[in-house]
């Protein structure tokens, strides 16, 4: 029994918690005054940094607007330089369409005249009339062939004019797209600078708030010491 009590006593003493670390003494008035002076200097400097950061953010915003407007102007000016030649090519297409329509009508009329002469030839019985009609049919056949070939040429010209418009339009779109992409990239870069500048302002304001809290706490502590 004595051995058990002795062992229990030893266990209690060996497992007893160690004493807590000593609490540091509160700062003295001199220390608080020094801390206040440091914080006031820090806050003054941070306010200057904040003002500079806000100025830089404003400059970044103005630069963004300048870049954005400049990009829009470049795109608009490029579009303006491309409109005139495009309208000229479209005018050629309109002319080619009119020529093709006119040539097709002439070819159709020539074929109709030839066919009418052939029908007369079939119905003719007089030898002299038959000879005249054969000659006329041959002439009309030649004329119809020439008109058909002319109509085909106008169709080829129309197709070429349309291809010119399509090619010019595709090239113009590529040029405008390239300039637009460059303008968008410049705007994005300028916007990133705005975000960076504004983040700097927020960071400095947070640091100012933290320093102000510390300063207020130090002044309160100093006031308590004076009571």
Q: What is the pLDDT of residues 31-83, one digit of tens each?
A: 989 999 999 999 999 999 999 999 999 999 999 999 999 999 999 999 999 99
Distance in angstroms (rounded) separating the CA atoms of residues 221 and 211:
15
Confidence of residue 227 (pLDDT cuts 50, 70, 90): low
Domain locations along the chain:
31-226
State the architecture of 31-226 in CATH terms.
Answer: Orthogonal Bundle (1.10)
What pLDDT sits at residue 146? 96
Q: What is the pLDDT of residues 116-142, one digit of tens each?
A: 999 999 998 888 888 999 999 999 999
Q: At what angle do helices 29-123 and 127-226 cross, to 10 degrees?
A: 170
Distance in angstroms (rounded) separating the CA atoms of residues 154 and 60:
59
Residue 46: exposed, middle, or buried by beta-carbon count in 10 A (0-12, 13-18, 19+)?
buried
**Arithmetic mean of pLDDT, 179-198:** 96
Residue 59, CA distances (Å) to 48, 49, 64, 199 in order = 17, 15, 9, 14
Q: What is the pLDDT of residues 84-94, one digit of tens each?
A: 999 999 999 99
Residue 169, CA distances (Å) to 64, 125, 162, 166, 179 in order = 31, 62, 10, 5, 15
What pLDDT sits at residue 24? 79
Confidence of residue 18 (pLDDT cuts 50, 70, 90): low
Q: What is the pLDDT of residues 203-219, one digit of tens each?
A: 999 999 999 999 999 99
Q: Which of 175, 163, 198, 187 is nearest to 68 (CA)?
A: 187
């Amino acid at each position: 029994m004595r051995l058990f009590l002795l062992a229990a006593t030893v266990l209690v003493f060996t497992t007893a918690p160690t004493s807590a670390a000593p609490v540091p003494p509160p700062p003295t008035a001199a220390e608080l005054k020094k801390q206040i002076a440091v914080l006031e200097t820090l806050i003054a400097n941070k306010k200057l940094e904040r003002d500079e950061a806000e100025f830089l953010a404003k400059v970044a915003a103005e630069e963004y607007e300048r870049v954005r407007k400049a990009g829009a102007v470049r795109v608009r000016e490029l579009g303006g330089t491309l409109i005139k030649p495009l309208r000229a090519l479209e005018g050629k297409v309109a002319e080619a369409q009119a020529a093709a329509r006119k040539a097709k009508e002439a070819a159709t009329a020539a074929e109709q005249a030839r066919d009418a002469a052939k029908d007369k030839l079939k119905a003719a019985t007089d030898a002299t009339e038959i000879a005249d009609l054969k000659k006329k049919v041959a002439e009309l056949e030649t004329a119809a062939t020439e008109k058909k070939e002319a109509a085909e040429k106008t169709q080829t010209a129309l197709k070429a004019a349309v291809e010119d418009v399509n090619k010019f339009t595709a090239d113009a779109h590529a040029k405008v797209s390239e300039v637009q992409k460059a303008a968008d990239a410049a705007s994005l870069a300028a916007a990133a600078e705005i975000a960076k500048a504004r983040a700097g302002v927020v960071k400095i304001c947070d640091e100012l708030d933290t320093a102000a809290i510390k300063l207020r706490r130090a002044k309160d502590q100093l006031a308590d010491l004076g009571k």
